[in-house]
Chains A and B, each alone.
Chain A
Amino acid sequence: MKSPSIIGQPIKRLEDERLLTGQALFVDDVHLPTMLHAAFYRCEYAHARVNSLNLARARALPGVIAVYSAEDLGNYWQRAPLLVPPPPIPHAVFHARTHYPLAKDKVCYAGEPLAVIVAESRYLAEDAAQLIEAGLEPLAAAIDLEQALAAQAPRVHEDLESNLAAHIVQQKGNYQTAKRQAEVVIQRRFHYDRGTAAALENRGIVADWNARSQLMTIWDTTQAPIPIRNGLARMLGLAESQVHVIAPFIGGGFGPKIMMFYSEEMIIPWIALQLQRPVKWIEDRQENFFATTQERGQIHDAEMALTRDGKIIGVSDYFLHDNGAYNPYGLTVPINSQCTLLGSYRVPNYYSEFKAVFTNKPIVTPYRGAGRQHGVFVMERLLDIAAKQLGLDRVEIRRKNLLQPEEFPHNHEIIYQDFAPLIYDSGNYAPALARAAEMIGYEKFIQEEQPRLQAEGRHPGIGIVTYIEGTGIGPYEGARVTVESNGKVSLVTGVGTQGQGHYTSFAQIAAEQLGVEATDVRVVTGDTRQFHWGTGTFASRGAVVAGNACYAAARAVREKILKLAGTILQIPQTDLVLAQGKVFAKNDPTKTITLGDLALRANPLRGAVAPGTEPGLEATAYFGPDRGTTASGVHAMKIEVDPETMQIKILDYVVVHDCGKVLNPMILAGQIMGGVAQGIGNAYYEQLFFDDNGQLMNASFMDYLLPQADNVSRMRTEHFETPSPLNPLGVKGAGEAGAIPVGALFAQAIEDAFPQLDLEIREIPLSPNRLFELLQSAKSRIDDNARE
C-alpha cells in the first residue's frame, strides 16, 4: 500500500495564516532596545567629483549619534565583492568595477550614497542629512547607451579607456556561411528599456552586535541569507559562526534582493559593531527607485536568415547592455539574453555578440526574467516579421521551427549563466503551442470574431508567443529533515523565502516521503543558524535545487524510520507501511508504532548508539545539479485597443506551461499569474525615464505606472508535465515564466489590432502615449505613400 500522493495536490499555502493575521515577522517589525536609525545622504548629480564633504552641522544636531563618510570607514572602505565572475567564454573581455560602501572622490549615478547618519530616530537622521554640505563639481554624464560607447563620451570609470564593461562573442555553427543559403534575411533593431521591480516591501536591514555572546545578528531582506552571512563575516573580520543572518518573511524579492552586497548591507552591520548598539535602516519608496538595482536597457541589432517556407537557417544578434554605473553581478543578465534568444526553436547557426556598457545610471542586476525577456522579444519579433514577409501564419512559422521531443537533450553549444553548456534537458513544445492556440480560439478569432469586430469599427487583436526559461541552476542547496518526538516533522533549508510558498511545497515533498500530512511539517527557511550551507533563491531554482535537497533528506529519514521500526516490530522492512504518522505491518495493522515513539527510541537516554549509526531520525542532504533545467511555455491573448485612449483591454489570457512535475498546482498558478502581471506592467505601463543629465524623472508611484487591477486580466493556465531527467523529482523552475514573454505578446497582439497600418513594434515598454505616437507615424507613412 502506497500512501496517497501529496506532491501535486493544490494544498492551500500553510504560511498564509501567519501572513494574513499579521503574525509574520518582516525586517521592519524588528524593534530592539537602544536601537538607532540610519539614513543615507545621497548625491543628486549623476556624475560629479566630490571636492569636499562637511559633516559638522549634521554631527552637531541633537539626537545624532554618528555621521560617517567614506573617509571615516578606514580599511572597511573597499569595493564590494564581484558576485559573479565572467563565464569561461574564450576571448571574453570583462572589467569589474563594483561599487563602494560610500562614494569617496566621485559619484557615478544620482542616488549614490556619500554619507550615513545614525540617530535616535529616522526623522532626526533625515533632518541631519539636510545639514550635510557637499562640494560637488558636476561632470558631463554618460546616459544614452549608444553614445556612452563613443570615443568622446564622459567616462564613468576614468581608469578605463572607455565605458566598455564587457565584450562577449558566442557562436554555434557559422551564421555568415549559412546566410548565403538563405532565401530571406530579416534585419531589425530592437529596444528594451528600464523598469523597476517595485516589490511591495522595500529593502531593510537591522544589525545587532552582542558583546557578551560575541555574536552579530542581522535581519536582512535578502534572497541569499547564507552568502550574506559569509560575506559580512569576512568583511567584518568575524567567524562565520559569529554572524547570524535571518531573512524573515519578505514582501517580494524578484531579483533585486539577490543582489549583494548593497552599500547599506555593508555599512549597517559595521556601524552596529562600531557603536555597540543595534542599528536599523529601512529603505523608503523613493530610495528604492535608485538605490535598489534595476533592469533591462538593451539595444539589439538582429538578423534572421530563413528559407522561403519559413525554416530558420540562422540568427545573428549584436547588442548593447546597459550595466549602470557598476557591475557587481557580472554578466548574468546579458548572458541570459544571449542564451534565451534561441527560445523553443531549432537554430542551426547562431552568432551573438554583446557589449556591456557603463552608464551614469543606477546599477543593473537581475529582475524577474533577468535578461530573458530581451532574447524572447527579439526572437519572437523576428519570427512575426518573417511570417508577415513570407505570408505565413504566426502559429505556423513557430510550429515549423519548434524543437521536437526526439531532439532532446539539445545542445546549443554556447555557455549559460551557470558556466555550463546551454543544453536543454527535455521538452515537448508542439503540443503546448497547439493547446494554447486551441484554448485562446486562435482560428475562430481570426476567421470569425476579428472580421466581425473590425466591421463594427473596433480594433481586436490576438497574439501567441513561445518562450523557454533556463531554471534550477547549481551550485547546490541543502536541507535537514528531523522527526521530532511529538511525531511532527521539522524541515530546514538555507534558501530564503519572498512569497514563493516554500513552506507548503517543501512540506509536501517531505510529507509524502514520511507518511504525514503537509500540515505536520514545520518548515524553516532563511535562518543561517538553522541551516548554514546554501546559495539562495534566484534563477527559478528553489523548487528544483532546494526541493530536491528536501526530497533527498526526507528519503534518508524514511530509510531510518523503516529500519528502526523493522527492528522494534520484528518485521522485515519490505512488509512495513509508513502512513498517517505511524509505521505498521502491511498484513497486521495492529502491529504499529508512531513516528513520535520512534523518534524517542532513536534518541535514548540509556543504552548505546551503535557504531556507524546516528541518534535521532534526522538526515541532512544536498542537491547540486550539473546544469540548469529548461522549462517552456506559450502565452496567448486577445485584446481590444481603444483607438481614442490607446487603452488596452485584455479579453482573454492563456498560459500553457511546462515546468516538469508540478509540486502544487495552486502555488504554480499563483507564480505564473504574478509573473504575467509584472510582465503586463513591463510591456505597457512601467518605464523609468532619465533626462540627459541622468536625473530619474519618475521616481514615485504617481508617475511610475504599475498595472492596476483593471489592467491585469484573469488568466487561464494549463500545465504540461515533461519531467526533467536532471533531478529525482523531475521538476523545473517556474518563478520567472509568467513575466518573460509578455512584451513580445503585447507587440504582436497590438500589431494585429491594426492590420491596415504598416505598424511594426520594435520596442518595449510601450505605453498609451507611445502607442499613439507609433500609430500616428504609421498613419503618416500611409498618407505619404498615397501622395507619391
Chain B
Amino acid sequence: MRLQDTFTFAGPRELVFELLLNPEVLVRALPGTRTLEKIDETTYQGEAQVRVGPMSGNFTMQVKIIDQHPPERFKMQIEGKSALGFVQGSATVELSQIGPEETAMHYQAEMQIGGKLAIVGQRLLDTVGKSMTKQSLENLSRELEKRLRARQ
C-alpha cells in the first residue's frame, strides 16, 4: 500500500515537527491508539485497535525514527502485528515553511501488508489507510491550533 500526499498545517514548522514526534500528542491523535511510549531516543512502542471492514484487531506497533533532521524531515520504520496480520514499511515526512504561520507536510509511505488484512481486506485497505491518515492529521491540526491559542 502506498500513501502519498501533502497536508497544510496552520502553524510554524518547529511546532509541527515537535507535535509529530510527541507520543502524548500522538496517542490522542492517531485513531484507535491506546498506548504509545517512547522507549528510547528513536523508538516508539504502542498498541492500537484497527478496524478494516468486518475485521478489527489489536496491533502492537513499533516505530523507529531514522534519519531525523529537525525541523525539516524524518524517516520512520513501522512494524505492526496482530492476529489480523502484519503491517511493515517505511515513511518519510518533509516539512516546508510556506508562510510565517503555515507549514506544508509532504508524506510518503510504502507499507507491506500481510495475513488476513491483505487477503480479505485488500480492497478496503486504501480507503482505510487514507481515512486514518486524514483523521490523524486533522486531530494534529486541532492540537496545533489549541497550542497556538494557548501561546497567545
Contact = CB atoms under 8 A, between A and B. Distances in A.
Contact of B115 (A44, A289, A691, A700): A44
Given A44-B85, A44-B86, A130-B83, A702 B114 contact: no
Contacts of A45: 114
A221 interface: no
Nearest to B54: A702
B120 interface: yes
Given A110-B114, A695-B113, A695-B114, A700 B119 contact: yes
B3 to A, nearest CB: 16
B114 A286 contact: no
Nearest to A127: B83
Interface in A603-647: none
Nearest to B57: A130
B120 A700 contact: yes
A693 interface: yes
Interface string B103-123: 000000000111110111011
Given A44-B85, A44-B86, A130-B83, A697 B114 contact: no
Contacts of A697: 118-119, 122
Nearest to A694: B114
A698 interface: yes
Interface size class of B (residues with CB under 8 A): 10 to 19
B83 A286 contact: no
A650 to B, nearest CB: 27
Contacts, number: 35
Contacts of A137: none
Given A44-B86, A130-B83, A695 B118 contact: yes
Given A44-B86, A130-B83, A693 B112 contact: yes
B2 to A, nearest CB: 12
Given A44-B114, A45-B114, A110-B114, A696 B83 contact: no
A703 interface: yes
A691 B120 contact: no
Given A44-B86, A130-B83, A703 B122 contact: yes
Interface residues of A, number: 17
Contacts of A286: 116, 119-120
Nearest to A698: B122
Interface in A642-697: 691, 693, 695-697
Contact of A693 (B83, B114, B116, B122): B114
A150 B120 CA distance: 31
B114 A699 contact: no
Interface in B42-79: none
B125 to A, nearest CB: 9
Given A45-B114, A110-B114, A693-B112, A699 B83 contact: no
A130 B83 CA distance: 6
B112 A696 contact: no
A289 B114 contact: no
B56 to A, nearest CB: 13
A563 to B, nearest CB: 64
A691 B112 CA distance: 10
A277 to B, nearest CB: 27
A152 B114 CA distance: 24
B27 to A, nearest CB: 25
A702 B52 CA distance: 14
| Most B C-beta atoms less than 10 A away, residue of A289, A695, A696, A699 | A695
A290 B122 CA distance: 16
Nearest to B86: A44
Contacts of A289: 119
B118 A691 contact: yes
Nearest to B113: A695
Interface string A695-733: 111111011000000000000000000000000000000
Contacts of A110: 114
A776 B119 CA distance: 29
A728 to B, nearest CB: 50
A702 B116 CA distance: 14
Nearest to B83: A130
| Most A C-beta atoms less than 10 A away, residue of B115, B116, B118 | B118
Contacts of B120: 286, 699-700, 702-703
Interface in B113-148: 113-116, 118-120, 122-123
A699 B115 CA distance: 10
Nearest to A702: B120
Interface string A35-51: 00000000011000000
Contacts of B119: 286, 289-290, 695-700
Interface in B73-93: 83, 85-86
Interface of B: 83, 85-86, 112-116, 118-120, 122-123
Given A693-B114, A696-B119, A698-B119, 8 more contacts: A44-B86, A286-B116, A289-B119, A290-B119, A696-B118, A697-B122, A698-B122, A699-B119
7 contacts: A44-B86, A45-B114, A110-B114, A693-B112, A693-B114, A695-B119, A697-B122
Interface of A: 44-45, 110, 130, 286, 289-290, 691, 693, 695-700, 702-703
- Which 8 pairs from chain A and chain B are nearest by CB? A699-B119, A44-B115, A695-B118, A130-B83, A697-B122, A44-B114, A700-B120, A696-B119
